[in-house]
Amino acid sequence: MTAAEIKAIGERAEAMLDALASISAEPDRLTRLYLTEEHRRAARLVAEWMRAAGLRVRMDAAGTVHGLLPGSNKGPSAGKRLLVGSHIDTVVDAGRYDGTLGVVAGILAVEELRRRGIVLPFALEVLAFGDEEGVRFPKTLLGSSVVSGSLRDPMLDLTDADGVTIRAALAAFGGDPDALEAEAYRPEDVLGFIEVHIEQGPVLEQLGLPLGVVTSIASQGRYRLTVKGEAGHAGTVPMATRRDALAAAAEMVLAIEAVGMIQSIGRTGDDVRTETLVATVGEIKALPGASNVIPGEVRFSLDIRAGTDRAREEAVAEVRRRIDEIAGRRGVAVRIETVHEKVVAASAPEMVERIAGAVEAVTGSPSHRLMSGAGHDGQAMVHLAPIGMIFVRCRGGISHNPAEYASPEDMGIAVAALVETILGLGAES
């Protein structure tokens, strides 16, 4: 593709992302959670773009939008499909590239293939999942778990902050909570899943590269912690006899931070401790929540990730040990519930090679391979088919933040690399 063509595609990507970013639950910031009215509007817009690109569109039982470009159905990959895409839900006060870029890149790649008159030997399907962030419900990757047939326990009775269950929200959205299992694709029908995603970190920018090739997605655990102490009068209960759940939780949060920091610098030289480890408490609530009442109960979240499953498991064990010690010393009870634990999701070696070749062909420089600390739909799709990801340079490494930015030039190059990757797969099929 010429530089002018790549630039034009990047500018289209930017315009499409701007249009999606205007669909939000809040007037002054981007918040688009799973199965909300905003999700519905974004899904409709994506479906319109898919239809305009010549795709056959449907929404599945989990609210995922599918756009299918039929192939020639000749040769060994006849009847199979290659999946590309990402998610259209966001975090609260989000950036405009996380997830949506992968959906838009898939649609633009289809447009480019059709512009060139190419008919692939397999079907190409663009997917727009609705639940990668796991913000509305204490559960994530529902859409990609459904498509990949890896939904073990849908936990449809989990509720959002307003007490609405996933089951009820799905039904209201037009999905079908009872048909989720029937949506699963069969591994023998799928050639792979490729996702374009903003890097959400600083590595590519530091290296001066527009694109990177993802080798794996970090091991991740999410937990919910409940600390129970005793509520009491802020004016009368002596400090020494209090069982303040918030003060205990505060100490626990600092202990969690300490675990993440100590292990991330490889304190003991042990393999496990030299892996990238991060531990975050992003949500906390004190009950009953009044300035003159000693907090009797605190609930908070814990997110722990590492480059290996063992490092993550060791870190969780260490967190549990420290939390138990704090709870015992302060006379509070603590319960830790596992929301999910996802093992490292490795890109398929053949996908890594194919994407690296495409990136090199498009950029004219050697490709860089990197791990993803962020979670992605690939963590579910890996159970269905070989996965591969193309990372796009992210300004300042800032993501999950309205300042998130990828340039139109880099997005155009990403679409070109996606097209090359698809064509490479087509040539060998």
Which single residue is written with the structure tokens 């969780």? 316
Query: In the numeric block, which tokens belong to residue 141?
Result: 């990757």
Buried b (16+ CB within 10 A) or exposed e, 216-237: bbbbbbbbebbbbbbbbeeeee
Determine the Cα–Cα distance for residues 63 and 129; give it in Å rounded to an integer.
Answer: 7
x/- track of binding to ligand GLV for residues 327-366 (CB under 6 A): ----------------------------------------
Determine the Cα–Cα distance for residues 344 and 387; give it in Å rounded to an integer.
Answer: 12
Residue nearest to ligand GLV (CB): 375
Range 423-428, long-range pairs (CB < 8 A, 24+ positions): 423/113, 423/118, 424/354, 424/357, 424/358, 425/82, 425/122, 425/191, 425/192, 425/354, 426/118, 426/120, 426/121, 426/122
Q: State the nearest-atom distance from the C-beta of 287 to ligand GLV, in Å.
A: 26
Indicate the residue among 10 and 378 with the shorter CB distance to ligand GLV.
378
x/- track of binding to Mn ion for residues 96-115 (CB under 5 A): --xx----------------
Q: State the nearest-atom distance from the C-beta of 94 to Mn ion, in Å.
A: 7
x/- track of binding to ligand GLV for residues 362-381 (CB under 6 A): ------------xx------
- H-helix segments, 265-348: 271-274, 309-330
Q: State the nearest-atom distance from the C-beta of 394 to Mn ion, in Å.
A: 11
Tell whether residue 281 is a contact of ligand GLV (CB under 6 A): no
Determine the Cα–Cα distance for residues 401 and 396; give it in Å rounded to an integer.
Answer: 11
Determine the Cα–Cα distance for residues 120 and 206; give it in Å rounded to an integer.
Answer: 36
Determine the Cα–Cα distance for residues 104 and 214; give it in Å rounded to an integer.
Answer: 19
Tell whether residue 142 is a contact of ligand GLV (CB under 6 A): no
Indicate the residue among 38 and 420 with the shorter CB distance to ligand GLV.
38
- Find which of ligand GLV, Mn ion, none residue 183 binds, CB within 5 to 8 Å per kind: none
Residues 69-98 contacting Mn ion, CB under 5 A: 98
Going by their DSSP bridges, the two strands 284-287 and 56-59 should be labelled as: unpaired
In what helix (H) or strand (E) does residue 217 lie, and over which residues does it extend?
strand 211-217
Indicate the residue among 67 and 99 with the shorter CB distance to Mn ion.
99
Q: State the nearest-atom distance from the C-beta of 343 to Mn ion, in Å.
A: 19
- Find which of Mn ion, ligand GLV, none residue 60 binds, CB within 5 to 8 Å per kind: none
Indicate the residue among 131 and 251 with the shorter CB distance to ligand GLV.
131
Tell whether residue 111 is a contact of ligand GLV (CB under 6 A): no
Q: State the nearest-atom distance from the C-beta of 101 to Mn ion, in Å.
A: 9
- Could you give the angle at which helices 349-363 and 408-428 cross, rounded to 10 degrees? 130
Among 60, 133, 195, 251, binds ligand GLV (CB under 6 A): 133
Indicate the residue among 84 and 249 with the shorter CB distance to Mn ion.
84
Least Cα distance to 212 among 375, 14, 410 occurs for: 410
Distances from the Cα of 293 to the Cα of 283, 288, 327, angstroms: 21, 7, 20
Q: State the nearest-atom distance from the C-beta of 184 to ligand GLV, in Å.
A: 23
Least Cα distance to 294 among 227, 239, 244 occurs for: 244
Q: State the nearest-atom distance from the C-beta of 282 to ligand GLV, in Å.
A: 9
* Contacting residues toward ligand GLV, per CB under 6 A: 133, 374-375
* Contacting residues toward Mn ion, per CB under 5 A: 98-99
